[in-house]
């Protein structure tokens, strides 16, 4: 790859995406234990998307003649095992990932790596969408606060989330 700094940062981002997948899979498990199969489905779809993101970075690195260097994935922690807590933590996590992508874009620009710069545009759009989707569920959960019927309906809605086409 043209810049070893960008190469290292993309490897780091592969780890971020895999760690995200790991976290969402842990959240899916917690959701099911809470008796919320729809939430479980939503987090499993999220898990699959994160794996697809890691794969996208992996393939890009190879395409640019870079070297893949995988690192250990940290043990996921589910700090707030409640319906709202899971989604608030998911949003905070997505905001963190967005920051990582912005920093990566800044680095690509500083290194005049135009190919990476353009490649990252897709991820910026994707992060906007992911944050918005997560925030939308938080809004719904706050609206029904403590109302079991409302929670039941949200769970049913989340059960309908399907894998993205092109995944
Ligand atoms: Fe991601
Ligand atoms: Fe994400």
Pick the ligand that lies closest to the CA of residue 101. 1
Per-residue confidence at 55, pLDDT binned at 50, 70, 90?
A: very high
Note whether residue 84 is domain-resident: yes
- 8 A C-beta contact, residue 10 and residue 55: no
- Ligand 1 midpoint to CA 97 (Å): 7
- Ligand 1 midpoint to CA 147 (Å): 32
- 8 A C-beta contact, residue 87 and residue 43: no
Rounded to two decimals, what is the model's pTM? 0.95
Question: What's the CATH code of the domain at 137?
Answer: 1.20.1260.10
How large is the average pLDDT for residues 16-23? 98
pLDDT of 80 higher than 80: yes
Note whether residue 118 is domain-resident: yes
pLDDT confidence of residue 166 = 52
Neighbours of 39 (CB within 10 A): 25
- Ligand 2 midpoint to CA 142 (Å): 22
pLDDT of 167 higher than 70: no
User: Considering its fold, how many domains does the chain have in total?
Assistant: 1
**Please, what's the largest Cα pairwise distance for the chain?**
56
Note whether residue 147 is domain-resident: yes
Structure tokens at 27: 């959240």
Residue span of the structural domain in which 120 resides? 4-158
- Ligand 2 midpoint to CA 98 (Å): 8
Q: Is 104 exposed, middle or buried (0-12, 13-18, 19+ CB in 10 A)?
A: buried
Weakest-pLDDT range from 46-55, 125-134, 146-155, 157-166: 157-166
- Ligand 1 midpoint to CA 49 (Å): 7
- For residues 21 and 52, give the distance between their C-alpha atoms in angstroms, rounded to a whole number: 9
pLDDT tens digit sequence for 133-153: 999 999 999 999 989 999 999
Q: How many CA atoms within 13 Å lie on the side-chain side of 123?
A: 28
- For residues 26 and 131, give the distance between their C-alpha atoms in angstroms, rounded to a whole number: 19
- For residues 75 and 93, give the distance between their C-alpha atoms in angstroms, rounded to a whole number: 15
Note whether residue 93 is domain-resident: yes
Structure tokens at 17: 């995406």
């Amino acid at each position: 790859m043209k810049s070893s700094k960008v190469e290292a940062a993309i490897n780091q981002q592969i780890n971020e995406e895999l760690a995200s997948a790991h976290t969402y899979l842990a959240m899916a498990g917690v959701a099911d234990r809470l008796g919320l199969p729809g939430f479980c489905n939503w987090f499993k779809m999220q898990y699959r998307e994160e794996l697809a993101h890691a794969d996208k970075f992996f393939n890009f690195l190879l395409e640019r003649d870079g070297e893949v260097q995988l690192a250990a994935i940290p043990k996921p922690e589910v700090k707030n095992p409640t319906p709202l807590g899971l989604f608030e933590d998911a949003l905070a996590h997505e905001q963190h990932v967005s920051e990582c992508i912005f920093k990566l874009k800044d680095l690509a620009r500083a290194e005049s790596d135009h190919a990476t710069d353009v490649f990252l545009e897709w991820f910026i759009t994707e992060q906007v969408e992911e944050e918005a989707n997560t925030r939308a569920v938080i809004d719904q959960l706050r609206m029904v606060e403590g109302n079991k019927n409302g929670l039941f309906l949200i769970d049913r809605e989340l059960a309908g989330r399907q894998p993205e086409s092109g995944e």
